[in-house]
Structure 1
Amino acid sequence: MSEPIRTVLVVGATGSIGRLVVSEALAHGFKVRALVRDQARAAALPAGTDLANGDLTDVESLAGVVEGTDAVVFAHGSHGGGPSVTEAVDYGGVHNVLLALAGRPVRIALMTAIGVTVHDGGYNRASGAHDWKRRAERVVRASGNVYTIVRPGWFDYNDADQHRIVMLQGDRRRAGDASDGVIARRQIAEVLVASLSSPAAARKTFELVAGKGPAQSDLGQVFAALQPDPRGNLDGVLDLGNFPLADEPVRVREQLEAIRNRTY
């Protein structure tokens, strides 16, 4: 996108990270629209937030929500519930927002998770969460929008001196616990919002953790040190090739192809 970003839609705005994204985006001078289903939970959002009623599982309810937006931050998550729920929310919510946009370009920041490429682990076999989050990443890459995909580590396990932002690529930390990396929720929100206006963050996929030391005053150089995803690739630049497209469900392949070709 060449036009400046003015209005940011926050998906998952009433969640523990989404609320911080709303505050961070407002502090950066963006107009913020929060996608909400529960008005009671939305009451806790900062003054100046534009509330838009919609349901991620209902694409028709999202048409008015996305209208006039320049960027979308996906900070939502299904928080378990089994493969059908993770498909409907973690993947389906992203897919439905893209359908509602009807090909209109926006800047995207998508939060998934560290370990998202661990396909054969026990957690993923039980929940399907990693696979459906990875499919959400793929549909964003296929959309042709400018994007940043952030895979945060374990929330709020930081030591008192862990303020430095560290961005990794390749998703090679696979312990499945906080030893894979920690990050504060406020740091996640900071990075998601900062990526929207940073040219250096375009087409970057990375794991986000905190290191010992002070916080950086400018994340531009941190973004710039990363490798971009190759154009046309469905996976992150250094991701393992352990999730063949040919093995995907037919509906997923068809949805990816429709998004890529804008034939929906």
Structure 2
Amino acid sequence: MTLLIIGATGTLGRQVARRAIDEGYKVRCLVRNAKKAAFLKEWGAEVVRGDLCYRQTLTAALEGVTAVIDASTSRPADSVSIRQVDWEGKVSLIQESVAAGVERFIFFSIVDAEKYPDVPLMDIKRCTELFLAESGLNYTILRLSGFMQGLIGQYGIPILEAQPVWVTGDSSAIAYMDTQDVAKFAIRALKVPEAEKQTFPVVGTRAWSAEEIIALCERLSGKEARITRLPINLLRTVRRVIRFFQWGWNVSDRLAFTEVIASGKPLNAPMEEVYQVFGLDPNETATVETYLQEYFSRILKKLKELDYQKIQPKKQKPKRSPFKKTDTQ
């Protein structure tokens, strides 16, 4: 079976590619930047240049492909908009997959996407779900919440460096999941008949609020967080202002997602039946506690080693005396 993975250089996509390769699949990755994808070649994947925004590049990439796993999404720094990548690009990918005779299509969406029609990314995810379901493809939709990997930059590093930790509005509890565990479900979906033409939540073992994450990081790091609360109304005002400028459209759409994580409504879902369908053991799923504990243990150990090296006296080279005789003298 040949897999085409979209977004394979991203936080989730690289774990999907790694898992697929380890399980013996022939993996092809569609990438925009070949240099950034060098590690995929080293792993054993085939790398092809392409872009969801350029439909003509998808045809060749899909040739001979059995299944597609789409882990791509627009990024805040991209010059293109969320709509161009996450809607128009996905529509092109789905239509080209139908034309290429792709047998399976795995798509990542977001938990409770239908509840936030005013948030561009959530609305686009829901519309893509509907479009995929009506396309005729044999699909599986996995609805995610948040990634544990994002906790490091949002909480871990600022706390270690005594930088502000930003908290907005009423913190929504989020069931964070390690991307390695998400990848298990994605690859497993290819083998499970019960997953065909179905939608499943794929979330972590429990939901955590921002305050709970901060308290855990403080305990594990031994440092106190500098919490800065940003009023949601201020963000709404900023979003409306930058919406007047074309360069701010993408940032504005991203800020709209703050409405989700500051609503106080949890991003979570029951997982008991999902584990049964996929035949996976919930006890093997990483928890936020173990993930952050491993991170802080590793970082604090490294910091101690660096401090040790700083206090070690440097070996002084013996000074040569200008009066010392040589053998030739």
- TM-score, length-normalised on structure 1? 0.66
CA distance in 2, matches of 1:36, 1:76: 10
Bigger Rg, structure 1 or 2: 2
2:14: which partner in 1?
19
Does residue 276 of structure 2 align to residue 221 of structure 1?
yes
Match of 1:44 in 2: 39
CA distance in 2, matches of 1:111, 1:177: 24
Q: Secondary structure at the match of 2:35?
A: helix
The 4+ residue runs of structure 1 with deviation greater than 2 A are 79-82, 98-101, 118-121, 175-178, 219-224
Q: What residue is the counterpart of 2:58 in the other structure?
A: 62
- 8 Å contact from structure 1 (residues 91, 132) kept in 2: yes
Match of 2:165 in 1: none
In 2, Cα distance between the equivalents of 1:36 and 1:107?
20
Deviation at 1:190, TM superposition (A): 1.1
Q: Matched residues in 1 for 2:75 and 2:127: separation?
A: 16
Report the counterpart of residue 162 of structure 2 in structure 1.
none
1:199 maps to 193
Structure-to-structure mapping, 1:16-165, within 5 angstroms: 16-45=11-40, 46-80=42-76, 85-101=81-97, 102=99, 104-120=101-117, 124=119, 128-156=120-148
Give RMSD over aligned pairs.
Answer: 2.7
Structure having the higher helix fraction is: 2
Paired amino acid for 2:113: V
Provide the rounded CA distance (Å) in 1 between the counterparts of 2:95 and 2:141. Answer: 19
Q: Write the distance in 1 (CA, Å) between the matches of 2:170 and 2:3.
A: 32
In the TM superposition, residue 103 of structure 1 has moved relative to its aligned partner by 5.8
Per-residue deviation, 1:158: 11
The sequence identity of aligned pairs, in percent, is 30
Where in structure 2 are there 5+ consecutive unaligned residues? 152-168, 207-270, 280-329
Distance of 2:176 and 2:170 partners within structure 1: 12
How many angstroms does 1:76 deviate by? 0.7
CA distance in 1, matches of 2:109, 2:122: 9
Contact 2:95 2:135 in 1 (8 A): no
> CA contact under 8 A between 1:60 and 1:100: conserved in structure 2?
no
Question: Structure 1 residues 120 and 138 mapped into 2: Cα distance closer, same or farther (>3 Å)?
Answer: closer
How much does 1:87 deviate?
1.5
User: Structure 1 residues 79 and 115 mapped into 2: Cα distance closer, same or farther (>3 Å)?
Assistant: farther
1:51-82 per-residue CA deviation (whole Å, 9 max, x = no partner) reads 11111011111110000000000101113479
2:24 aligns to what SS in structure 1? coil
- Cα–Cα, structure 1 residues 222 and 64, in superposed 2: closer, same or farther, change >3 Å? same
What is the distance in 1 between the residues matched to 2:275 and 2:105? Answer: 17
The letter for the 2-side match of 1:188 is V
Would the aligned equivalents of 2:188 and 2:278 in 1 still touch at CA under 8 Å?
no
Q: TM-score, normalised by structure 2?
A: 0.54
Mapped to 2, the partners of 1:158 and 1:78 lie a distance apart of 16
Inter-CA distance 157–35: structure 2 relative to 1 (3 Å threshold): closer
Amino acid at match of 1:93: G
1:90-131 deviation line (CA, Å, top 9, x unaligned)? 12222111232316242011011123112245xx1xxx1111
Cα distance in 1 between the residues matched to 2:47 and 2:29? 5
Separation of aligned partners in 1, 2:71 and 2:114: 19
Residue aligning to 1:258:
none
Secondary structure of residue in 1 paired with 2:36: helix
Query: Alpha-carbon deviation of 1:205?
Result: 0.8
Q: Distance in 1 between matches of 2:172 and 2:8?
A: 25
